[in-house]
Amino acid sequence: MSVLIKDVVSHIKTKSVLKNDSAFIDNVSIDSRSPQNNASTLFFALVGPNHDAHIYLLDLINKGVSYFVVHYIPEELKNKAHFIVVENTLAALQEFASYYRGLFRFPVIGITGSNGKTIVKEWLNFLLSPDYNIIRSPKSYNSQVGVPLSVIAINEFHNFGIFEAGISTVGEMEHLQEILKPTIGILTNIGSAHDEGFRDISQKIKEKLKLFTEVDVLILNKNKTIEAFLAKEIKTFTWSTQDRSANVFFQIREYESNSDLNITFNQLCFKVSIPFTDDASIENAIHCICTMLYLNYSQEVIQQRISDLYPVEMRLKVKNGIYNCTLIDDSYSSDFQSLKIALDYLENQKQHKKRSLIISDIFQSGLTDEELYSRIAQLIITHKINRVFCIGATISKFKSKFLNATSYDSTDEFITSFESIDFSNETILIKGSRQFEFEKIVSFLEEKTHETVLEINLNAISHNLNYFRSKLQSKTKLMAMVKAFGYGSGSFEIAKLLSHHKVDYLGVAFADEGIELKKAGIETPIMVMNPEMTSFDAIIQYNLEPEIYSFRGLKAFLKIADAKKLVKYPIHIKLNTGMNRLGFDTAMLPELVEILKSTKRLEIKSILSHLASSDITEHRDFTLKQIADFERDSSFLMKELNISTIRHICNTSGISNYPEAQFDMVRLGIGLYGVANEAHEQMYLENVGTLKSVISQIRVIQAGESVGYVRRFVADKPTKVATIPIGYADGISRKWGRGVGYLLVNGQKAPIIGSICMDMLMIDVTNINCVEGSEVIVFGKDLTVSIIAEAIETIPYEILTGISARVSRIFYRD
């Protein structure tokens, strides 16, 4: 990209005149953290319900960024940079992307639908890339922000585009159509995703079809309901497994590990085999076949390429590696745009100072090899990569451009040399094209754990955080609770994410949790909610802030503070307003005031209390009395001590049910992790943790045979039994066994039979299509911890925090 600022200004709705508009920009950014921000960057300061990028402008100016698109100019920054003032910075970004898209004339596929968009896009890229230089949406960049960023990545060498477009409510698709201007449309399907954003299914169909108002052709499953909403001038290319009047007719035969598709198209009749048996993959493959038929590919090419389709890994994962390494696994795709995204993600991993990059040949960049690897070399320098392992014949030719680079002709050659390479105490980004099979490298580098994993969706945590922030008054601060290993999810990665989102405090239960976060580089203030007196020295050493809830604890901390000659060390005073667990009672406050007045060693950073029943409607009067008592007692302390400090009493349910009690700060706990205490609120939260395992073994037992200890399940008919390597030592309650609970296998309920063992449990998979190695969901989006908790008469907190540390946590972003 190389665009004159004056061309940007002339194509967006500006409210001011830019004096210096003769400069060129070659990078557009919305991420203040990206090391790719430089003097040639145009930064769009996006504003949302819970974020405002204008607060980062000074940092960006100090990094050398000169040109900004803003909604307003902060008073202290006037004359320090070049500002383009607009009414709406997101609209300006979209207007610029629409202008930029218009500079290029080549076929563009636009894909929308409720499911399958990313898979179809990635498969089409694989199928068509031998014949075109393709630009495509990276990852799932299909939103109001993601689509313009995807389009802005087009360069003069591209000659084909594949982009996906997703919407969640009315009025969004028109903007995406203006940006993409697709010439070929694909409608994958209309399902239930984001139903809450539409009045009914008819409105949803109409909105999605707005992407295709100017296409040359729309590829879709023949459907009278959908076609009734299409404008007559839109040409369709339909397929069906039922209606032979469709342009392409498919007959499907499924086998154990693959499916045959018998295709009838015009005068052609031929068969294609795909390595999938599930309905979603078959439908996605059909859309790809129809696209190839429309583009006049021969049946021989279609047969050969379709048979090579592969499962798409749609997300970047963070994993524990050998010798205290952290792995960023992005080993299934390698193009320039996704490399930039992965490197920006690497930049946010502060656990290790040392960084390595394992990278394969890059394909489909649209650039010459010389220009491509020169740009990659610059990215590597910008992101402070310590060493680079180049794998592939092409990238190896350019290894001299990279600092501290080693080259290998193939993945196997790298693996052969593996023992001679020292990998330890570092972050390793693994970025490779699929044909290089970098999953082999991941296998060598990954810390060996058993096959049960807890996957943590970091995007979902961000969503849930922003949802609760939207309920807060503009000046209300937020403390995010990461105690109990992040409610079982893993505190370090989550703390990093929350620090990026600029939460005001992190809350932990005990000092050792806070110490680990500080050691890992977390700079956000950390409050220790239940400090043990034996930990006070360590709390001070690591600049943690203790909650003080008793005279015994206060006097012990003061003794240490006197010995260390501390001045105004931050502490937090806990009041008991009815929880009757920890805290100073009302009658204790005069004595507390006298002690605090007598010392300069301490500074009260906040006064807090804890609501006992904020989620129980029947206890509303009790909760209101707690709030009133807290108002009275905290006001007494502030008046007597002549201080103004932060006050907080609301937990997750308090945020939702008692907005009048936000005071100066709230504490967000279980809601951050996707669990609402109120049923009506659950629909607005996203699932964070998915506990999954695999089938170790399958056997068929006959009537009269038993399963497990004490023969607690006896079959009354032939039963197919699957053994899963997860048990009560991993945190699965024995109450969930013996027919009470179930797991999900291929989306179907598989009852747990017999007693849950220490390391294993058994399920009934009779009539479920599965094999040894098939994935099993223990809990997640469709089988929530709330469902399990209700069935075994406990609370979701216990389910989440009970997952054993031996279960590997894998963090990812969609």
Sequential DSSP letters for 586-603: GGGHHHHHHHHHT-SSEE
Asked whether 792 and 785 are in contact (CB, 8 A), the reply is no
**Residue 67 known to be catalytic:** no
Is pTM beyond 0.75 here? no
Residue 78: phi and psi, rounded to 5, are: -60, 135
Tokens of 120: 């179809």
How far is residue 456's CA from residue 807's CA, in Å, rounded to a whole number?
12
Exposed/middle/buried for residue 682 (C-beta within 10 Å: 0-12, 13-18, 19+):
middle
Measured over the CA atoms of residue 445, residue 449, residue 450 and residue 455, the dihedral's sign is negative
Is the pLDDT assigned to residue 237 strictly greater than 50?
Answer: yes
Is the pLDDT assigned to residue 519 strictly greater than 90?
Answer: no
Query: How confident is the prediction for the chain on average, in pLDDT?
Result: 90
How far is residue 34's CA from residue 11's CA, in Å, rounded to a whole number?
26
Helix (H) or strand (E) holding 443: helix 439-445
Is the pLDDT assigned to residue 17 strictly greater than 80?
Answer: no
Asked whether 11 and 97 are in contact (CB, 8 A), the reply is no
How far is residue 88's CA from residue 70's CA, in Å, rounded to a whole number?
8
How far is residue 312's CA from residue 20's CA, in Å, rounded to a whole number?
46
Instruction: Find the angle CA(137)-CA(343)-CA(389) to the nearest 5 degrees.
Output: 115
Residue 262: the pLDDT is 96
Residue 563: the pLDDT is 95
Residue 449: the pLDDT is 63
Instruction: Find the angle CA(311)-CA(314)-CA(318) to the nearest 5 degrees.
Output: 115
Provide mean pLDDT across the span 120-127: 92
Question: Between 312 and 603, where is the model more confident?
Answer: 603
Is the pLDDT assigned to residue 490 strictly greater than 60?
Answer: no
Residue 678: the pLDDT is 80
Q: Looking at 307-461, which runs of residues are DSSP E strands?
A: 316-320, 326-330, 355-360, 387-391, 405-408, 427-431, 453-457
User: What distance lies between CA 337 and its chain's CA centroid?
Assistant: 18
Query: Which residue type sits at 254?
Result: E
- Spot the catalytic one: 15, 235, 625, 709: 709
Secondary structure (3-state) at 694: strand
Q: List, for residues 185-207, the tens digit of each pLDDT value.
A: 999 988 766 667 788 888 889 99
Is the pLDDT assigned to residue 178 strictly greater than 90?
Answer: yes
Burial pattern 67-84, b for ≥16 Cβ within 10 A else e, equals bbbbbebeeeeeeebbbb
Q: List, for residues 456-471, the tens digit of each pLDDT value.
A: 998 899 889 989 998 9
Secondary structure (3-state) at 408: strand
Helix (H) or strand (E) holding 468: helix 458-469
**Residue 483 known to be catalytic:** yes
530 Cβ contact partners less than 8 Å away, ≥ 6 residues apart: 509, 510, 547, 582
Secondary structure (3-state) at 546: strand
Percent share of the chain, pLDDT over 90: 65
Asked whether 306 and 431 are in contact (CB, 8 A), the reply is no
Is the pLDDT assigned to residue 78 strictly greater than 70?
Answer: yes
Tokens of 419: 């023992």
How far is residue 148's CA from residue 42's CA, in Å, rounded to a whole number?
14
Residue 507: phi and psi, rounded to 5, are: -115, 130
How far is residue 276's CA from residue 269's CA, in Å, rounded to a whole number?
21
Asked whether 146 and 223 are in contact (CB, 8 A), the reply is no
Residue 488: the pLDDT is 46
Secondary structure (3-state) at 217: strand
How far is residue 205's CA from residue 195's CA, in Å, rounded to a whole number?
11
Query: Which residue type sits at 37?
Result: N
- Give 444's pLDDT tier (boundaries 50, 70, 90): confident
Q: List, for residues 642-659, the tens digit of each pLDDT value.
A: 999 999 999 999 999 999
- Spot the catalytic one: 483, 496, 574, 692: 483
Is the pLDDT assigned to residue 350 strictly greater than 70?
Answer: no
How far is residue 68's CA from residue 64's CA, in Å, rounded to a whole number?
12
Q: List, for residues 779-811, the tens digit of each pLDDT value.
A: 999 999 999 999 999 999 899 989 988 888 888
Asked whether 774 and 806 are in contact (CB, 8 A), the reply is no
CA distances from 111 to 17, 117, 314 (A): 38, 6, 16
DSSP 322: G
If one counts every other C-beta atom within 10 angstroms of the C-beta of residue 767, the result is 8
CA distances from 66 to 51, 58, 73, 122 (A): 22, 10, 13, 36
Exposed/middle/buried for residue 372 (C-beta within 10 Å: 0-12, 13-18, 19+):
buried
Tokens of 780: 């997640």
